[in-house]
Chains A and B, each alone.
Chain A
Amino acid sequence: MLWSDQPGEDVECVPGSDRVSDERGFELVWEQWRLPMVQLAVMLVGAREVAEDVVQEAFTGLHRRWASVDNPPGYLRVSVINGCHSVWRRRRTAQSHVSYWDPPAGDASAPVLIAEEHREVMRALHRLPRRQREVLILKYWQDLDDGQIAAVLSISESSVRATVSRARKALGSLLKDQ
C-alpha cells in the first residue's frame, strides 16, 4: 500500500519500517484515509456525528496496534464496519430513531433536485438488511472485488455474489421508477 509522503510523490509506508517513523506513518494514514473512512461510516449508519465517532474509535485502535498491523487501511475498514455494527445493535436495543444525515440542500436549482434524488436512494439503501447494505457500499463505493469484500466481512465469495444480487433486486423494488 502506498501513501503520499510528499505532495505528488508516493512512497511505501510500512508500519515499523526505518524509512518512515511510526508517528509519521500514522500521520500519513490519517491524512489519506480519514475522509474515506468517514464517508464509509456515513453511508453505513447515516448519521454524521455517529459516523465520526466510529471513525475516531477506529483510528484510536489503529494507533494502539500500529506495530502489529500490516494493512492499516484494511484494519480501518474492518474496524469502521464493526463499529457500525455496534451502532446498529445499540439502536435496536434503545429503539431510538437516528435521523438520516442530510447533505446540504443548496439553493433552488438543479443541485437541489439531484440531492433529493440521491437522498431517496440512500433512504432506500438504509432500508435494506445490514449485510446487503454493507456489500453494496463496499462494492460500489469502495470498488472492492468479491474476494476483498469477503475478507472484510468474513464471508465466502459465493455469499458476496448472492448478497449483491439480492441487494440489487431489493433496492430496485424500493426505488420508484421516474
Chain B
Amino acid sequence: MVVGDEEAERRLIAALRATAGAVAADGVREDVKPINLSDMFVIDVGQSVGERKSGRRRWLPVAGAAAAVAATVAFAVVLAGSAPQHVEPGSPGQHRSPTPNVPYATTSPPTQPPGHGCGGFLCTTPLVPSGARS
C-alpha cells in the first residue's frame, strides 16, 4: 500500500532532520575548509590573495595569451613564406621543387643575394636556369 503525500512529506522531513543531525554529530572534516589560501593562489596569479582583492590585474594570463598570439602569427608567416608558389615553367620566378634528392643545379655562382626574385619573404632558393627540372 503506497504512502499518501502528506505522510510521505512528514516522513521525509523527519528523515532529513535525522540525517542532518547525524552529519552534525560526526562533525565536518577539517580539510574541507580551504586553508593557506594565500599560498594556494600565489602560483595561480603571481600575487597574494590580498593583492588580488585590491583589484590589480592578473598580468600573467594576458602575457601568456599575447605570447601565444605572437607565436601563432610568426608560425603563419613561416608557413606562408615556405609554401611553394605556382609559376609557369621557364618563368623567371620558377624555382626548383623542394625535393631533397634533386641536386642543386646552377650554371654559375650566384651574383646576387639569395632569392630568385619571386618576392617571397623568406624564399632563399637560388635562381635556376629555365627548363631545369623543377
Contacts and interface: CB of A to CB of B under 8 A. Distances in A.
B16 A34 contact: no
Contacts of B53: 16, 22, 66-67
A39 B31 contact: no
A106 to B, nearest CB: 10
A148 interface: no
A14 interface: no
Contact of A171 (B8, B23, B28): B8
A140 B33 contact: no
A39 B8 contact: no
A119 B2 CA distance: 18
Question: Which DSSP category, helix, strand, loop or mixed, fits chain B's interface?
Answer: helix
A102 to B, nearest CB: 9
Given A67-B53, A118-B14, A125-B12, A169 B19 contact: no
Given A35-B28, A59-B32, A118 B19 contact: yes
B22 to A, nearest CB: 3
Contact of B18 (A64, A67, A103): A103
Interface range on chain B (Cβ under 8 Å from partner): 20 to 34
Interface in B7-66: 7-9, 11-20, 22-26, 28-29, 31-34, 37, 41, 49, 53, 55
B12 A115 contact: no
Main SS at interface, chain A: helix
Contact of A168 (B8, B14, B37, B41): B8
Contact of B11 (A56, A117, A173): A117
Contact of A118 (B3, B15, B24): B15
B8 A114 contact: no
Contact of A42 (B13, B23, B37): B23
Interface residues of A, number: 41
Interface string A129-154: 00000001100110000000000000
Contact of B23 (A35, A64, A114): A35
Given A118-B19, A141-B13, 8 more contacts: A22-B53, A35-B24, A35-B28, A52-B29, A56-B32, A103-B22, A141-B20, A171-B3
Interface of A: 16, 22, 30, 34-35, 38-39, 42-43, 48, 52, 55-56, 59-60, 63-64, 66-67, 103-104, 114-115, 117-119, 121-122, 125, 136-137, 140-141, 168-169, 171-173, 175-177
24 contacts: A34-B28, A34-B32, A35-B28, A42-B19, A43-B19, A48-B23, A52-B32, A56-B31, A56-B32, A103-B19, A117-B11, A118-B15, A118-B19, A121-B15, A136-B12, A140-B12, A168-B9, A169-B5, A171-B3, A171-B12, A172-B2, A172-B4, A175-B11, A176-B1
